[in-house]
Homo-oligomer: A and B are copies of this chain.
Amino acid sequence: MIIIAEKINGSIPSVAKAIGEKDADFIRNLAKAQSEAGADFIDVCASVDTAIEVETMKWLIDLVQGITDTPIAVDSPSANVCAEALKFCKKPGLVNSVSLEGDKIDIIFPVIADTRWGCAALLCDDTGIPKNAEKRLEVFASIMKKAKEYNIDPSRLYIDPLVEMLCTSENGINVIVDVIRKIKAQYPAIHVIGAASNISFNLPARKMVNQAFVVLVMNAGMDSVILDPLNRDIMGMIYATEALLGNDEYCIEYINAYREGIFGTKK
């Protein structure tokens, strides 16, 4: 499972405070802790006034790169900010994200075309999030057409099928599972990504839903997840699921991760 660590995000109050106070140690510690917990990418999202977003992204990215080699996911609602921010990165990471909304894809795809950057792509367009599987797959087809145009290999794309709240769903996650399976069947090398916690909005005991969700979407073929890697329980579930799905012979990675303290009772 590819882990995109979500904690350096200005929409989290403690991070907003650290950004406001230019508390470099706070950011560095967060980057280090997430990296040690097994993050494959450190997501960096400033969530500040647009006037200072690019410079804030640079400040954050420099701090993260000063403390860890883990690649960065540059994260902004603005494609232009992402395009600027990725220049500050020493090595290719992930653009988080494009979609068929506005001109996002036409801003990002040319910038990353001849690089090794990956890109998350949400299955929505200017009309919003399509309700059924068929419409999401139409958006997917349009994104793949654009990718082909810019010669971006499917293996560099992280498709986000956009998980909605379970509490308003009539048929659970069947639509998402269907979309994941069809995408992976069509492009086996493509990545499918999702956030681990959106599913449980408005429900009690959210961790129960988040954990079971991750297991089920991994089973369907999701291979990348945006989460807090310091959440030991969900990390344990991911390692356990890899072993149960037959991706970790004799549980060697599971046992190693346990020994490294990524999950299990804190020592």
Contact = CB atoms under 8 A, between A and B. Distances in A.
Given A203-B254, A244-B172, A208 B239 contact: yes
Given A170-B250, A204-B255, A216 B244 contact: yes
Contacts of A248: 172
Interface stretch (A32-40, A102-110, A258-266): A258-266
A185 interface: no
A212 interface: yes
B212 A166 contact: no
Contacts of A13: none
A170 B249 contact: yes
A265 B254 CA distance: 27
A145 B205 CA distance: 45
Interface string A1-28: 0000000000000000000000000000
Contacts of A133: none
Contact of A167 (B173, B205, B233, B251): B251
A264 to B, nearest CB: 4
Interface centre among A167, A199, A265 (most CB of B within 10 A): A167
Contacts of A240: 205, 208-209, 211-213
A216 B219 contact: yes
Q: Is the interface of A mostly helix, strand, loop or mixed?
A: helix
Nearest to A249: B170
A50 interface: no
A174 interface: yes
Interface in A174-204: 174, 199, 203-204
A246 interface: yes
A263 B208 contact: yes
A211 B208 CA distance: 10
Nearest to A199: B244
A175 to B, nearest CB: 10
B205 A246 contact: no
Given A208-B239, A264-B205, A168 B250 contact: yes
Given A199-B244, A205-B264, 7 more contacts: A166-B243, A169-B246, A172-B246, A203-B255, A212-B215, A216-B219, A219-B219
23 contacts: A166-B251, A167-B251, A169-B246, A170-B250, A172-B245, A172-B247, A172-B248, A174-B245, A199-B244, A203-B255, A204-B258, A204-B264, A205-B240, A205-B263, A209-B254, A212-B240, A212-B241, A212-B244, A213-B244, A215-B215, A216-B219, A216-B241, A216-B245
